[in-house]
Amino acid sequence: MSHIDAGAEVDPVHPVAPPASRPTGLTGAEVARRRARGQVNDVPVRSSRSLGEIVRANVLTRFNAIIGVLWLVMLCVAPIQDSLFGFVILANTGIGIVQEWRAKQTLDSLAVIGESRPTVRRDGVATEVPTSEIVLDDLIEIGPGDKIVVDGVCAEADGLEIDESLLTGEADPVVKRPGDAVMSGSFVVAGGGAFTTTKVGREAYAAQLAEEASRFTLVHSELRSGISTILKYVTWMMVPAAIGLVITQLVVKSNGLKDAVARTVGGIVPMVPEGLVLLTSVAFAIGVIRLGRKRCLVQELPAIEGLARVDTVCLDKTGTLTEGGMDVTELRPLDGADETYVRRVLGALGESDPHPNASLQAIIDAFPDSEDWRCVQSLPFSSARKYSGAAFSEGDGEISTWLLGAPDVLLGADDPALAETGRLNEQGLRVLLLARTRHDLDDPRPARGAQPTALVVLEQRLRPDAADTLRYFADQDVRAKVISGDNAVSVGAVAAKLGLDGTAVDARRLPGGQTEMARALETGTVFGRVTPQQKRDMVGALQSHGHTVAMTGDGVNDVLALKDADIGVAMGSGSEATRAVAQIVLLDNSFASLPSVVAEGRRVIGNITRVATLFLVKTVYSVLLAVLVVCWGVEYPFLPRHLTMLSTLTIGIPAFFLALAPNKERAKPHFVRRVMRYSVPGGVVAGVATFVTYLIARHHYTGAGSLGAETSAATLTLFLVSMWVLAIIARPYTWWRVLLVAAMGAAFVVVLAVPALQSFFALKLVGMAMPWTAVGVAVVASALLELAWKRLDARTPA
Q: Which residues pair with 388 in a beta bridge?
A: 404
Question: Residue 775 has what pLDDT?
Answer: 93
Task: Find the helix or strand (DSSP H, E) in which 209 lies.
Answer: helix 205-214
Q: Is 187 helix (H, G, I), strand (E, B) or coil?
A: strand
- The pLDDT of 734-744, averaged and rounded, is 93
Percentage above 90 pLDDT, the chain: 8
* Confidence class for position 49, pLDDT limits 50, 70, 90: low
8-state DSSP, 189? E
| Phi/psi-derived region of residue 502, left when phi > 0, alpha when psi is between -120 and 50, beta in every other case | left
Distance CA 242, CA 611 (A): 24
| pLDDT tens digits, one per residue of 394-409 | 766 678 888 888 888 8
The count of residues in the chain is 798
Tell me which residue of 375, 390, 556, 441 sits closest to 12, measured CA to CA.
441
Q: Give 580's Cβ-side CA count (13 Å radius).
A: 27
Tell me which residue of 173, 550, 541, 214 sits closest to 383, measured CA to CA.
173
| Strand ranges of the sheet holding 451-462, from the earlier edge strand across to the other edge | 322-333, 451-462, 430-437, 399-405, 387-393, 374-379
28-37+116-214 and 223-289+603-795 share one CATH topology?
no
Question: Residue 25 has what pLDDT?
Answer: 82
* CATH superfamily to which 223-289+603-795 belongs: Calcium-transporting ATPase, transmembrane domain (1.20.1110.10)
- Alpha helical stretches, state H, 545-639: 559-564, 576-581, 594-632
Question: Residue 725 has what pLDDT?
Answer: 92
Reply yes or no on whether the pLDDT at 217 is more than 70: no
- Alpha helical stretches, state H, 648-734: 653-659, 671-700, 707-729
Question: Residue 745 has what pLDDT?
Answer: 93
Question: Residue 374 has what pLDDT?
Answer: 79
Give the CA radius of gyration of the chain: 34
Question: Residue 639 has what pLDDT?
Answer: 79
| pLDDT tens digits, one per residue of 771-794 | 899 999 999 999 999 898 888 776
Mean pLDDT of all residues belonging to the chain: 79
Distance CA 782, CA 240 (A): 29
Q: Is 390 helix (H, G, I), strand (E, B) or coil?
A: strand
- Alpha helical stretches, state H, 37-143: 51-59, 62-77, 84-114
- Of the two residues 47 and 265, the one the predictor is more confident about is 265
Q: Alpha carbon of 663 to those of 20, 86, 501, 657, 672: distances in Å? A: 63, 32, 28, 12, 19
Question: Residue 421 has what pLDDT?
Answer: 84
| pLDDT tens digits, one per residue of 89-137 | 777 778 778 877 777 777 666 666 556 688 899 888 888 888 888 888 8
Question: Residue 167 has what pLDDT?
Answer: 64
| pLDDT tens digits, one per residue of 664-704 | 776 677 778 888 888 889 999 999 999 999 999 888 877 65
Question: Residue 203 has what pLDDT?
Answer: 67
Distance CA 52, CA 49 (A): 8
| pLDDT tens digits, one per residue of 283-292 | 777 777 888 7
Reply yes or no on whether the pLDDT at 301 is more than 70: no
DSSP letter for each residue of 536-568: HHHHHHHHHTT--EEEEE-SGGGHHHHHHSSEE
Domain ranges of the chain: 28-37+116-214, 223-289+603-795, 296-321+463-589, 332-457
8-state DSSP, 248? I
The catalytic position among 138, 316, 486, 558 is 316
Give the pairing of strands 479-483 and 526-528: parallel
* Options 3.40.630.30, 2.70.150.10, 2.70.98.10, 2.60.40.10; CATH of 28-37+116-214: 2.70.150.10
Contact 446, 325 (CB under 8 A): no
- Of the two residues 553 and 251, the one the predictor is more confident about is 553
Give the pairing of strands 312-315 and 479-483: parallel
Cα angle for residues 756, 757, 761 (degrees, 5° grid): 125
Is residue 500 classed exposed, middle or buried when 0-12, 13-18 and 19+ CB atoms within 10 A define those classes? buried
- List, in order, residues 6 or more apart from 162 with CB less than 8 Å away: 148, 173, 174, 176, 182, 186, 187, 188, 189
Tally Cβ neighbours within 10 Å of residue 219.
Answer: 19
CATH fold for the domain made of 296-321+463-589: Rossmann fold (3.40.50)
Reply yes or no on whether the pLDDT at 206 is more than 70: no
- Which residues in 449-514 belong to E strands, given as ranges? 451-462, 479-483, 504-506
Out of 83-87, 256-260, 368-372, 593-597, pick the least confident. 256-260
Reply yes or no on whether the pLDDT at 12 is more than 50: no
Question: Residue 111 has what pLDDT?
Answer: 62
* Confidence class for position 370, pLDDT limits 50, 70, 90: low
Question: Residue 216 has what pLDDT?
Answer: 35
- The pLDDT of 656-662, averaged and rounded, is 82
Tell me which residue of 160, 118, 147 sits closest to 135, measured CA to CA.
118
End-to-end C-alpha distance for the chain, whole angstroms: 65
CATH number for the domain running over 332-457? 3.40.1110.10
Distance CA 419, CA 134 (A): 52
Q: Is 304 helix (H, G, I), strand (E, B) or coil?
A: helix
Dihedral angle over CA of 691, 692, 696, 702, nearest 10? 20
| pLDDT tens digits, one per residue of 483-501 | 887 778 888 888 888 888 7
Q: Look up 316 and say whether it is catalytic.
A: yes
- Of the two residues 457 and 109, the one the predictor is more confident about is 457
* Confidence class for position 363, pLDDT limits 50, 70, 90: confident
Q: Alpha carbon of 502 to those of 494, 514, 521, 785: distances in Å? A: 12, 22, 11, 47
Tally Cβ neighbours within 10 Å of residue 330.
Answer: 12
Question: Residue 703 has what pLDDT?
Answer: 60
* Confidence class for position 70, pLDDT limits 50, 70, 90: confident
Residue 601 phi/psi, 5-degree rounding, is -65, -40
Contact 107, 285 (CB under 8 A): no
